[in-house]
């Protein structure tokens, strides 16, 4: 049975994306009918930080995260780091992100990505914020950097952050969980070929999973290839429920509580 004050919580969205131009009002207006109660808009570039903060100010259902994606860190300066820090002082900015490593592309250089990953992890420690991690084709380096420079949550304390759009092995997911991290699960879990992610969801404890869209990307089946939005999250809930042997209402309640703990919300 659905618990009081629980709802589908989209822990990772990009409603600042041009794909939603002129349509955010209409989508948010349908959140209630879809069972969605909250979404965090996650920055990826410097300009998107202010856009995410503006969305959080305009809509009660939105929060913001401030950070620069590894593919966008090539031109960052120390002044830019101060801008990110200022954004983290805003009342509805709940996390640093999305930050990390992306070795799928050859630029920026791996060394530069690591430098700004570590620099932004320092901001997370300075402002006591959880971290949203982007990691693509960089499993070993991501783990090494998070062990050395990432938040180190106390036993029973709030999570260190979330490994967004998780794509590595179930064993590594369990290792992240032991280190105090959440695992982000979105539309990919509905794909027929998502064997590793499905196995990860089966093996993880329910208190380590949060739901996300990464919208406008990663729409679940049967909408794969379309513009994604939080309105499709009930399909992700259903997939997780089937894999975990749980009722959809229980998945909603557990992942909502997890997201609130992650972002330190009442």
pLDDT of 156 reads 80
Which residue has tokens 């966008």?
A: 72
Supply 13's token pair. 């969205």
Supply 263's token pair. 């972002």
pLDDT of 2 reads 44
Cα gap 142→74, rounded to integer Å = 18
CATH superfamily of the domain spanning 8-263: Metal-dependent hydrolases (3.20.20.140)
Q: Coil, strand, or helix at residue 249?
A: helix
Supply 66's token pair. 């401030």
Strands (E), 67-201: 93-102, 131-136, 161-163, 181-185
Strand bridging mode 209-211 / 62-66: unpaired
Helices 248-263 and 233-244 cross at an angle (nearest 10°) of: 110
- For the stretch 57-99, pLDDT in tens is 999 999 999 999 999 999 999 999 999 999 999 999 999 999 9
pLDDT of 4 reads 54
- For the stretch 99-123, pLDDT in tens is 999 999 889 999 999 999 999 999 9
Q: Where are the domains of the chain?
A: 8-263
Q: How many CA atoms lie within 13 A of 130 on its CB side?
A: 28
């Amino acid at each position: 049975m659905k618990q009081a004050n629980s709802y589908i919580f989209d822990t990772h969205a990009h409603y600042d994306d041009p794909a939603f131009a002129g349509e955010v009002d209409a989508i948010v207006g349908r959140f209630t009918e879809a069972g969605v109660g909250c979404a965090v808009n996650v920055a990826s570039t410097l300009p998107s930080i202010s856009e995410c903060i503006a969305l959080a100010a305009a809509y009660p259902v939105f929060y913001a995260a401030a950070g620069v994606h590894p593919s966008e860190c090539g031109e960052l300066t120390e002044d830019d780091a101060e801008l990110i820090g200022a954004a983290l002082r805003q009342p509805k900015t709940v996390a640093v992100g999305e930050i990390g490593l992306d070795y799928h592309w050859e630029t920026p250089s791996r060394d530069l990505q690591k430098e700004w990953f570590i620099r932004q992890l320092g901001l997370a420690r300075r402002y006591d914020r959880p971290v949203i991690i982007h990691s693509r084709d960089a499993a070993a380096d991501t783990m090494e950097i998070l062990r050395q420079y990432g938040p180190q949550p106390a036993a029973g304390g709030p999570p260190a952050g979330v490994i967004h759009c998780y794509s590595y092995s179930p064993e590594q997911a369990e290792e992240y969980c032991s280190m105090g991290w959440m695992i982000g699960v979105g539309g990919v879990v509905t794909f027929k070929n998502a064997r590793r992610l499905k196995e990860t969801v089966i093996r993880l404890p329910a208190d380590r999973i949060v739901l996300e869209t990464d919208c406008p990307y990663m729409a679940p089946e049967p909408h794969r290839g379309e513009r994604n939005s939080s309105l499709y999250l009930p399909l992700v809930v259903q997939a997780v429920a089937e894999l975990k042997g749980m009722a959809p209402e229980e998945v909603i309640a557990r992942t909502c509580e997890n997201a609130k703990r992650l972002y330190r919300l009442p």
